[in-house]
Structures are given as structure tokens and as C-alpha cells.
Structure 1
């Protein structure tokens, strides 16, 4: 009998470990196979909600925020690149010269979820690739509209969402909800509203949790 699990993937499109975590989760889902169905929802989290228009230089921002030295930052970038490569995700972090505000990207993701048929997952993956692989600006409306169209969403409707304040209240409400649940770093993967997996874990961690929770559901 096919079992279904609800997964809320709390993340930001400017978070490299979220890209790793998503690729890892999808690898785990492929391993589990068709006997387990999932309802995958992407929930908003902003690493830098006060980010100014135009963004900030990545090196300067990370140094100020985390106090990391250039050597430490380089080591972190290499660890992220290597983890991504293991999972088939390409990080070109030399192209990520700036960190941007992502609120509008989250509004578009919220709309994509309402459109159904896996549109939100497709847009999320397109956003992560655009930023981390191609070095594009996820706050730029032209970029966002193009990506929406590339994954099969209506470009004109995407533009209408972005030029209004559509779904702004919904996104803020969801952000506040997960913060109130104690989530202050991402990725945070919440399964069936009760089981939390934090960080860009290896596929084995996700696979084990999915199988255990599916078994409990069956019992």
C-alpha cells in the first residue's frame, strides 16, 4: 500500500545548504521509490530580510555577519561545492558576487504552489540554479518572470504578482509561523508537522527518516 508523507521544506533561495539539502532529499526520495508518496511544500525563510535593494558584496556581507576570515570562507565554499557535486548540483560560487533580498522570490514561490502540478518544485530548483550556478539576481523581476515562464508558469501572471503586493501577507505569516516554531536556521525539513531534520544532511539521513516515518504510519 502506498503511503503519503507531508514534507515542509523551510528554506531560502540564497542559502547554499538549502540547495544541498533539497538535492539530498530528492536523492533519498528516489531511493525510497514509488511505495512512498510525498506532499512537498516549500516554506519561506529569509536569511537577510533587511537586505537593501541591489544587494551587498558577498565576501563583505559574510565577513561582517559571521566574522569569518577569507581562508575560512574559502574552505566553506569548497565544502559546499564538493557536497553539491556529489549530488549533481553545480555551484559556481565565484559567480555569486552579491547577496540579494529574496522576498519577491518567496512571493512567486507561494503563487507557484497555488498553480499546482509540481510548479513550485520546478520554480524552486530554477531559482537555486539561477543564483548558485549561473550567478543571477533572484531579486530581479525580469529574471524571476523569465524563470517562471521557463518552468511552465504564465509569465504575464508572474509579472502581475511581482508588480503588486500579492501574497506578501501570506509569506510574512508563514515566515513568522516557522520562526515561532523555533526554526532560526535553514534548511529545516519538517515531516508530518512533527519530525524535524535540520541542515543539508546526506541522503542517508533523509532516507532513514522517511522509511521510519512511513513504517510508523503503516503501523
Structure 2
């Protein structure tokens, strides 16, 4: 069976990253008799500013894109519909605030060492998009850790230290230098780039084409 390695560059604050992974799961399920997939998550920060207490998301997006809050609300509602069809909880998507995700990325790295990197990422997505929780808050992150069956006390120790900080920064720098400026981005077999939250059929076609060239 062909092995396919997928490095996913994403941010926990990016709704399309959650949608993109749900679509990727469908593609991988469709191809499970043909290919074996390994996944590794890499950090990207949409909001690297860690100061302040965040800003209402519709207000922040309106300013960022130069569009009205009503337009951004419509855009978010569209994402909520897509997410619901994929079984994702985006019920509080429009109620969240902008948040810094650096510490969450550190815990994704830590969870990865215990074989639960994807589970940690999914727990963070659910906390932020499904419950509008402050994903930069230590207690919220500890609850995410507990939800996937890892030791929340150890997670708190990680957050109280600077463990994995350099790893996250190196991750971010590496992929920015490689030209990744938007997420999600998938690097297939460390060679091919697929950008955006592509539909499952698009991904299936890309994987088959890539593996036929290998």
C-alpha cells in the first residue's frame, strides 16, 4: 500500500482549517484501500498579537477585509452551513473573539509526542468555534487536554514554562519562508503543495496523481 505523508499548516483560529480537515478525512476514508496516510500538524498564527483581550470577530473581520459587519456575518453563516454538513460544531462561530493561539500550538506539539496531536487540534477547534471559548486561556486549554484523555496538570506545567515555544516559532518561520501565506496548506510527501480547504474529490484526484508520479 502506498504511504502518503501530509504536513498540514494551519491555525486553530482558522475556520477553513477545521472545514479543510473534515474534507480531508472524507478523502482519506475514500482512499483507505489504496493509501496509508500519516498526518503532522504545523503552526501558523492568524493573530500573532498576544496583547489585549481580543475583539469581537465580526468587527475584527470587517476592519481586516474592508467589508461591512453584515457581509462578514453572511460569510460566517455560510461557513456554519458547510461545517454542519460535515458534522462540525460551529454554533458559536459568530460569537467568538479574536484570540492568540501560540500556547494552543505549543500544546498541539506536546500532545503529538503522546500520539494525540490531531485529537488536540480537534478539541481546540471545538472549544473555539463550537463554544466561543478563549482558546488562549490556560483553563480552557487544560479542559481540551482533559477531553482527549491527557494529563491536564502536565499541560499546565508546559504552559507555565517555555517548552515547545522554539518548536512553534521554527515551524512558523519554516513554512513562511517556504511561501505559505494562507491556511490551510497541505504539503504532500514533502514535495507537493495543495492550498485551501479543498473538496474531498479534489483531494482524492490530487493524491492519486501525486502517487502515480512517485
Q: Which residues of 2 match residues 33-182 of structure 1 at below 5 A?
A: 33-93=32-92, 96-116=95-115, 119-182=116-179
Report the more deviating stretch, 48-57 or 20-29: 48-57
Q: Is 1:189 the equivalent of 2:182?
A: no
Alignment TM-score, normalising by the size of structure 1: 0.93
Structure 2 unmatched ranges of 5 or more:
none
CA deviation profile, 1:137-187 (whole Å, cap 9, x unmatched): 111111111111211222121111011111101100110000000011101
- What's the offset of the Cα at 1:214? 2.6
CA deviation profile, 1:95-144 (whole Å, cap 9, x unmatched): 5331111000000001111122xx00111111101111121111111111
- What's the offset of the Cα at 1:25? 0.4
How many equivalent residue pairs?
214
Q: Retained in 2: the 8 A contact 1:149–1:155? A: yes
Aligned counterpart, 2:13: 14
Report the more deviating stretch, 60-69 or 157-166: 60-69
When residues 100 and 20 of structure 1 are mapped into structure 2, their CA distance, relative to the original with a 3 A threshold, is same
Aligned counterpart, 1:214: 211
Alignment TM-score, normalising by the size of structure 2: 0.95
Partner Cα distance (2:95, 2:122) in 1: 17
Q: Retained in 2: the 8 A contact 1:97–1:135? A: yes
- What's the offset of the Cα at 1:94? 5.1
